[in-house]
Amino acid sequence: MNTKPYLVPVVLCGGAGTRLWPLSRQAFPKQFAVEVERKSLLDLTLARINGLDGVASCLAVTGEDYRFMVAEALHNAGVPGSILLEPMARNTAPALCAAALQIAQTTPDAVMVILPSDHFVSDAGKFAAAISDAAKLAQEDWWVTLGIRPTKTSSAYGYIEPGPVIADHGSAARVSQFLEKPDVKKAEELIRAGCVWNAGIFVVKAGTAADLVAKHAPDIHDAVQQAVAGITVDNEFHRLQPEAFSSSPSISIDYAVLEKEPEVAVVPYDGDWSDLGSWDAVAGVHEADDDGNRSEGDAWFSSSQNCFVHSPGKLAVVLGLQDIVVVDTPDALLVTSREQVEQVKTVVDDLRTAERSELTDHRKVARPWGTFEGIDRGDRYQVKRITVKPGAQLSLQYHHHRAEHWIVVKGVAKVTRGDETFLLRENESTYIPLGAVHRLENPGKTTLELIEVQSGSYLGEDDIVRVEDVYGREAEPGSAKPASSAAKPQGKSKPAQTSAGKGGQK
């Protein structure tokens, strides 16, 4: 087939990346939190999409709580497209089935390029060439996966055993079998036998993908088909019907389809690639000094070897140590040996059991209008630093249990308080009484910064009743807490029970 393929990248933007705690958290996972050369992993993924030939639009698949961060990343990257919202996490098979059915409604021959949003690829040219080769094969109704040529012995990845080479398609081969993550000894044997890493990067026609899910996993296909039929649209957001989607089994596309289907091919990719699945892997993308030390931020190494430091906020001095990892954030510090770095996930499980709020949110929390950051907190007060993007506004809202003081430190604020509307400039302030309907807006062309001092009997972010919101958000059930909640302790908060997480509702 000589026609040029019509490519639709499908970017998978879910997942928590628990091995990269404390930087990656439930409400701000690694595709947003981890940066290489000041760009997030999602930004870098979208940049690779811009380097592909034949792309007209993109479909991002994510959860409700990440939708505004994904929308902003798409906008900043100049990548047109829409966002498919999963009402709950159901692994990759239902997610990819939903994407395939959505795209196939209008263009069943469109070739989906399925990309995790949290991978790092340094050679965009080699990557684009491999995708181009895979797309040609996908036009002939193959489901194609990229096989990463191993650069080291690793038990962290699944492996693919290539079978016979496919005629007229270069080094592409039929997949002989998918292999589970092996131990180190077995991994060495697989690499010597020519096996490649399974990166979860797929290229397949939308119609082919939908048909193969129907063939091998009809229960998934039927449930997701109903969820797609019940989609509701809110600007670029396409929300799957929750009840139908929740009835789908939760399973990976590998188990549900690929291990059962004979027409699966692998195209080898021999460029640099990493899923940045551990702090050791993150260290590897930074340049080492003469002693093997690497850093991100402000680090000073003395008589130390083979260490990694992430400390963007303050000077970190490492003296007389070897093979350690230090990750500093405003509210949590991780120190571990490189030998134990893979055990961070176990620590995260322990923090979840202890109901530590540091598992879910950073001190600085992203919102569609900007950010807020906790600065100080006491028994009946807390202080926040708030930034509002140019032209953005918070919801029109009121609180049952707290009053607020606002002091502008940069820019101009437009304040609605009850029936009055007025402007505040730098070094000016105002008071929002308990129960007053209010809104904060930035009418200017530069970022608005202000300090908010809250005081009251209950200071949780769920004490917000929205009257109006330009972002279509609604207060959650029970958000207006009764007076009996006033004595609720503020030291801990339970982490959310979904993969997307829940943060404040401001």
Determine, yes or no, domain membership for 500: no
Rounded to 5°, the CA angle 222-226-229 comes to 135
357: DSSP letter: G
Whether 142 has a pLDDT exceeding 70, the answer reads yes
Helices (H) and strands (E) in the chain — how many of each? Answer: 12, 28
Give a yes or no: residue 276 inside a domain.
no
Query: Of 269, 302, 329, at which residue does a domain stop?
Result: 269
pLDDT of residue 506: 56
CB 238 within 8 A of CB 218: no
- The predicted model gives 179-205 an average pLDDT of 93
DSSP-based helix, strand, coil % in the chain, nearest 5: 25, 35, 40
What the block records as the tokens of 145 is 């996966």
pLDDT band at 497 (very low <50, low <70, confident <90, very high): very low
Domain identity same for 96 and 39: yes
In a domain, residue 477? The reply is yes
Give the domain range for residue 468.
363-487
- Max avg pLDDT among 179-183, 214-218, 233-237: 214-218
pTM of the model: 0.85
Mean pLDDT, the chain, rounded, equals 90
Per the CB < 8 A criterion, the answer to whether 113 and 199 are in contact is: no
What pLDDT score was predicted for residue 202? 97
Residues 230 and 118 in one domain: yes
Torsion of CA 479, 483, 488, 493, to 10 degrees: 0
Q: What is the tens place of the pLDDT at every residue in 347-386?
A: 999 999 999 989 988 888 889 999 999 999 999 999 999 9
CATH, residue 463: 2.60.120.10
Q: Are strands 332-337 and 324-329 parallel, antiparallel or unpaired?
A: antiparallel
Same domain, 200 and 63: yes
Beta bridge partners of 40: 35
pLDDT digits (tens, 9 = 90+) for 385-432: 999 999 999 999 999 999 999 999 999 999 999 999 999 999 999 999
Alpha-carbon span 165 to 150, nearest angstrom:
19
107 with 16, same domain: the answer is yes
Report, as an integer, the average pLDDT of 59-77. 93
Within this chain, do residues 12 and 46 fall inside the same structural domain, yes or no?
Answer: yes
How many independent structural domains does the chain possess? 3
For residues 399 and 452, state if they share a domain.
yes
The domain boundary, picked from 245, 269, 293, lies at: 269
Same domain, 298 and 421: no
Q: Does 330 fall in a domain?
A: yes
Concatenate the DSSP letters of all residues of 73-132 into one string: HHHHHT--EEEEEESS---HHHHHHHHHHHHHTT-TT-EEEEEETT-B-S-HHHHHHHHH
Note the pLDDT of residue 492: 35
Structure confidence at residue 298 as a pLDDT band (50, 70, 90):
very high
SS3 155: coil
Label residue 476 by pLDDT band (50, 70, 90): very low
Q: Residue 233: is its pLDDT beyond 50?
A: yes
Confidence of residue 156 (pLDDT cuts 50, 70, 90): confident
Question: What letter does residue 342 receive in the DSSP assignment?
Answer: G
Looking at residue 481, what is its pLDDT?
40
Contacts of 214 (CB under 8 A, 6+ apart): 221
Whether residue 243 has pLDDT greater than 50: yes
Q: Give the integer Cα–Cα distance in Å for 336 and 332.
A: 13
User: 136 and 241: one domain?
Assistant: yes
pLDDT band at 154 (very low <50, low <70, confident <90, very high): confident
Query: What per-residue confidence (pLDDT) applies to 342?
Result: 87
Please indicate, yes or no, whether residues 471 and 380 belong to a single structural domain of this protein: yes
Output the pLDDT for position 166. Answer: 94
Last residue of a domain, one of 269, 293, 314: 269
> According to the model, what pLDDT value does residue 235 have?
81
pLDDT digit string, tens, across residues 261-286: 999 999 999 888 999 989 999 999 99
Interval 103-129: pLDDT, tens: 999 999 999 999 999 999 988 899 999
Same domain, 327 and 375: no
Calculate the alpha carbon distances from 44 to 85, 119, 120, 167 in Å: 21, 9, 7, 34
Q: Is the pLDDT of residue 504 over 80?
A: no
Do 40 and 114 lie in one domain? The reply is yes
Q: Torsions phi, psi of 446, nearest 5?
A: -125, 165
Given CA atoms 241, 244, 249, 252 in this order, what sign does their dihedral have?
negative
* CATH code for position 71: 3.90.550.10
Same domain assignment for residues 258 and 296: no
The pLDDT, as a whole number, for residue 460 is 87
Residue 456, domain member (yes or no): yes
The two three-digit tokens of residue 230, written as one number: 């019940």
Residue 438: its H or E element:
strand 438-441
